[in-house]
Structure formats: C-alpha cells, structure tokens
Amino acid sequence: MGISRKNLYILIMLFCMVGYTWLVMHIDSRWVNFVGPICVFKKTTGLPCPSCGSTRSMIALIHGDFLKGLSWNPMGLLLLGGLIVFPFWLLHDVTFKKDSFHVFYTSLEKTVSKKQVAWPLLLILMLNWCWNIYKGL
C-alpha cells in the first residue's frame, strides 16, 4: 500500500512549484547569488552528490544547449522533463477526475523495486556519481 492519490498530487504540485521557483531564481541574474549551492552532502563531505549539477544542466537545456545540459548532469533532463510534464498531467487528472498519474506512480514504484531493474539503475546511478566526482562539480 503506497501513498494516497490526494497526498501524491499535493506533493507533486508542491515539487513543481518549488522547482519552478528554484529555476527562475537561477535564470534571473539578480537572484543567482541569493541562495547559492545548498547541497548538504557537498557541504559536509566536499564531494558532489549524485544530483549535483542538475540545476546547471536544466538551465543549459532551457537555453537550448542539449549537449552541455547532458554533460553537466543527465539527471537534469529527467527533472526538467518532470517539471514540464507533471503539471499538465496533474491538471488533466484533476479536471477529468482520473487517477492515471497515481496508477503510473504505483506501477513505477513496483517496477523499480524489482531486483532486475533496481540493480542496473543503481549501477547507472553510481557511474553517474563517479562521473560527477571526476568532473569535480
């Protein structure tokens, strides 16, 4: 038994709102240095975390520089995709009173929990992390 539909939708909406605020803050030059890097992992260990560089990646992608976006951190592509798709998906579900996103989320959770999927994903994540450390993000 997983998260309820209502809670999931509220959480994703919150995510998107914070995500867009974060992005705007980093695109607008007046706000760039307002917060700065906030990664707890990087601050404590000095090493980049698996998702370090995804903001820079997303900004490069928004400016149309696809290769640069990928080379910062491929996770940025996932996050940006989520930020673009999820609000429309949620809006569709809420207006038509459907729960396709909830179904998608639970099936994704189930798939990822399988050993055959989880281990390769973990390997990819680790490789990406090594790449992050190598790049010195």
Partner 1 sequence: MDSNKVDMFILSNGKFFESNQLMYIREQLLSLDDSKWALVQTVQFKDPTTSIIVSILAGALGIDRFLIGDTGLGIGKLLTCGGLGIWALVDLFLIMGATREKNFIKFQQLLY
- Catalog residues that contact partner 1 under the rule CB under 8 A: 1-3, 11, 15, 18-19, 22, 38-41, 49-52, 54, 75, 78-79, 105-106, 108-109, 112-113, 125
Report which of 43, 42, 41, 74 is spatially closest to residue 56, judged by C-alpha positions.
Answer: 74
Closest contact distance (angstroms) between CB of 64 and partner 1 is: 22
Nearer to partner 1, 105 or 131 (CB): 105
Report which of 121, 83, 109 is spatially closest to residue 1, judged by C-alpha positions.
Answer: 109
Nearer to partner 1, 11 or 84 (CB): 11
Distance CA 112, CA 114 (A): 5
The b/e string for 20-37 (b: 16+ C-beta within 10 A; e otherwise) is eebbeebeeeeeeeeeee
Closest contact distance (angstroms) between CB of 35 and partner 1 is: 9
Nearer to partner 1, 2 or 120 (CB): 2
